Amino acid sequence: MNGQLRDKLFFGLSVILLLGVAACSSGEASGPAATPDKAITRVTRGLADGHPEVAWQALPASYQKDITELVHDAAGGVDPELWNRSFGVLQKLSTLLSDKQEFIFGHPMIAQGMEGKDNPEESWEAAIEMLEIVVKSDLADLEEVKNLDIEKFLAGPGADLLEQMSEVSALAPNDEWNQQMKSLRATKATVISSTDDTATVRIKRPGQPATEDEYVRVEGKWIPKSIADSWSATIGDAKQTVTEVSGQENAENKQKTLMTLSMVESVLDNMQAADNQAQFNAAVGAAMGMAMSAVMAQAENGGMPSTTGSPIALPQALRALTSAPIAALPPDGQRLRRSFPQADIAEDGTIPLAQADRFVGHTLWVKSTSGLNSKCTLTGVENGLLAFERNFVGGSVSFDLSSREIEFLRVIDQ
């Protein structure tokens, strides 16, 4: 997914929360607060009590309209396949973290990292719940995001997330989140001077020096003057950026992203299929090996592994998970043509994609548009998709590539 699009999609939600905490002005069903100090108290206590929707209610109606349009427009510029596929991966991850908790905690690296930690299982379960709230919310469906009711979202999944954050924090020794909420609830606001539509407010937060801020009334809502003065320019710049990047996800980048998601799904599927600790550890090892292989390929600038030059230094714990590079380039085409007489093989061993089905079961060097540059076994060809298996010391990973994702296939004489 285009990073700029994703960032702009959530810009509106971020502004809402930031305004709620920093601006601390509010309106509720009973109407806007009459004075800025009451507005501040309404929002700070509402947020501290786990009701993020009070931050949305604090905004002038035109500001709410601006943010809603921004979120909907940003969602309209996102590629639906990438968005929905990404959330599909998140859903698989959420299921894996829940179903395989025993194996995850039993993995040597995880077990070592958990030593001395307080309540690791409870913290884990609370963190999973936070992920499940997201993947089960309206955000999981791009069509829903295009028509997202922001206040309803904040009052529902938003409030659920704050509750889970409180539970996770309570399990930590310093309980930082709940301490901050306690401080927010104890914030005191005092009006120093005011007119009908302006005010100077003294705000005192526990443990912090008091500040004096200028507030103005906009459409009946009290908000900081600094935000009111900059709102038009800020939201205008955000909308312009969304317009500029909307729909700019090109075909090549999309295929690279889909390839990455496909490989991640394969890793998650292998872990989910594990019936015992040994199988799960092997799946983790294969995933780490694949990740290290990708790093090595990038470090070598996309070239074939060479027998010269200094090797890439890997942490000792990871070296056994990666397979050794091929010792030399594939043999000449003459030898390969004798082994595969019905195939059109180039001198460097490259084969036509149209003839890939003749090499099922054989080891090929695969270079893809997504950055894969590795030795793999071709396991099948069907309907334009080529199935591969990548072997590691710790296991293997299976994945598919379409013909348009493959830069070249080079047969390796075994």
What pLDDT is attached to residue 37? 92
Confidence of residue 115 (pLDDT cuts 50, 70, 90): confident
pLDDT beyond 60 at 345? yes
Share of the chain above pLDDT 90, in %: 39
What pLDDT is attached to residue 194? 92
pLDDT beyond 90 at 17? no
pLDDT beyond 80 at 350? yes
Does the global pTM surpass 0.75?
Answer: no
3 state SS of 353 = helix
Q: Looking at the domain covering 252-411, what would its CATH class be?
A: mainly beta
What pLDDT is attached to residue 338? 67
Q: Under a CB-based contact definition with an 8 Å cutoff, are residues 318 and 337 in contact?
A: no
For residue range 86-113, list pLDDT tens digits in order: 999 999 999 999 999 999 988 887 877 7
The domain ranges of the chain are 3-245, 252-411
Q: Under a CB-based contact definition with an 8 Å cutoff, are residues 212 and 193 in contact?
A: no
CA max distance for the chain: 93
Please state, in angstroms and rounded to a whole number, the distance separating the CA atoms of residues 233 and 4: 19
Q: 25 CB contacts (<8 Å, ≥6 apart)?
A: 33, 36, 39, 40, 43, 58, 215, 221, 222, 223, 224
Confidence of residue 329 (pLDDT cuts 50, 70, 90): very low
Range in 113-117, 138-142, 196-200, 236-240 with the lowest mean pLDDT: 113-117
For residue range 281-323, list pLDDT tens digits in order: 888 887 777 676 665 555 444 443 333 333 333 333 333 333 3
Range in 112-121, 317-326, 333-342, 382-391 with the lowest mean pLDDT: 317-326
32: left (phi over 0), alpha (psi -120 to 50) or beta: beta
């009006």: which residue's tokens? 191
Q: How far, in Å, are 66, 76, 108, 168 from residue 113 at the CA level?
A: 45, 42, 9, 18
The arithmetic mean of pLDDT across residues 354-368, rounded, is 89
pLDDT beyond 60 at 325? no
For residue range 27-51, list pLDDT tens digits in order: 344 567 789 999 999 999 999 999 9
């799946």: which residue's tokens? 283
For residue range 120-138, list pLDDT tens digits in order: 788 788 889 999 999 999 9
